[in-house]
Amino acid sequence: MSAPLALTMGEPAGIGGEIALKTWAARDAATPVFFIIDDPERLRGIAQRFGIACPVEAIAKPADAAAVFGRALPVLPLQVTEAQLGLPTPETASAVVAAIETAAAMTQAGTVSGIVTNPIQKSVLKGVGFAFPGHTEFLGHLAGAEPVMMLAVPGLRVVPVTVHLRLSDVPKVLTSEAIISHGRITAAALKRDFGLTNPRLVVAALNPHAGEAGIMGDEETRVIAPAIAALRAEDIAVTGPAPADTLFHEAARRTYDAALCMYHDQALIPLKTIDFARGVNVTLGLPFVRTSPDHGTALDIATKGVADPSSLMAALQLAAEMAARRAQA
């Protein structure tokens, strides 16, 4: 039997606990075995508050999860103090970080097959000295690797080359080297983790109409086209620069396996429009599998019991599939 997946607590004031409980309650034969690193009493309180039919059972180690999973949600205990739904507090920050560190250490040790991370409240963590923009960069630091963010739904995978930047800063930061690095890591991950023998990439343009021969910007000829040429020289199948407004309709999506996008919203708007509920955030380039729901902590609904677990379910399923491919390889 394969090792279980580790699910991190995420922001205790958010919906992470609720969607974990709902995911277990909605499990079927295809649901991968997972446990959550969290406070069992906190989860029992959430289950009772929202009427979620999910027993909670503490485990001592990841290997215990399989025996427990059929009757209860396995929980690797982590004490969380001062946690109140909807009201994030710096007092919980150390537990949030500890859950991520524990999961990463376990997957590197081979006791779990991969990790799925519930959303974190970055503003709270930064307030106590967390020096990373988010999960992706922190996990890259822990693994000593160069991480690349991919967002995926059935029928579309997108990779933003620049991520959490002001739009006005994107042309200053975008480089051929960054596009090349993202292209290499994406192509390798599509082979290893998604089972594609000959992955096809497309690179989006930055400017309208791909710059219109320089009339609307020269990044396409000066930055993007040289990167595409370099990737092709490495025998990576890649096309572009493609105008972003014609890149994401159904017929266009059939011509590539992943799109490299030049900035955050260029990647996420089409993905969330196609399938808002089931988007999955995947970190490529790590020595272990990591996925996450493609949504935030949802503090505005954390006290209402209405959170949709679909994205977490999809993240767990994709993590299990990726881990199985790595194990076979």
Q: What DSSP assignment string belongs to 91-159? A: GGHHHHHHHHHHHHHHHHHTSSSEEEE----HHHHHTTT--SSSHHHHHHHHHTS--EEEEEETTEEEE
251-275 pLDDT, tens per residue? 999 999 999 999 999 999 999 999 9
d(CA 231, CA 181): 9
Note the pLDDT of residue 159: 98
> What does the pLDDT read at residue 49?
97
Confidence (pTM): 0.94
Tell me how far apart the 2 most distant CA atoms of the chain are, in Å: 64
Q: Mean pLDDT over all residues of the chain?
A: 95
28-50 residue pLDDT tens: 999 999 999 999 999 999 999 99
Q: 97 pLDDT exceeds 90?
A: yes
Q: Which residue has the higher pLDDT, 242 or 131?
A: 242
Asked if the model's pLDDT at residue 284 lies above 90, the reply is: yes
Task: Dump pLDDT digits (tens) for 131-141.
Answer: 888 899 999 99
Phi-psi region of 240 (alpha: psi -120 to 50; beta: other; left: phi over 0): left
pLDDT of residue 322: 97
- HSE value, Cβ hemisphere, 13 Å, CA-based, for 85: 19
* Gyration radius of the chain over CA positions: 20
Q: Which two tokens stand for residue 133?
A: 């923009």
User: pLDDT, tens digit, for every residue of 290-323?
Assistant: 999 999 999 999 999 999 999 999 999 999 999 9
Q: Are 290 and 134 in contact (CB under 8 A)?
A: no
Cα dist. 29→68, 81, 185, 289, 326 in Å? 15, 35, 33, 22, 22
pLDDT at 82: 74
Average pLDDT over residues 123-128: 85
Count other C-beta atoms under 10 Å from residue 28's C-beta: 5
| Residue 214: per-residue pLDDT | 83
pLDDT value at residue 2: 86
Average pLDDT over residues 177-197: 97
Q: How confident is the model at residue 1 (pLDDT cuts 50, 70, 90)?
A: low
**Domains identified in the chain and CATH numbers:** 1-146+286-329 (3.40.718.10), 155-274 (3.40.718.10)
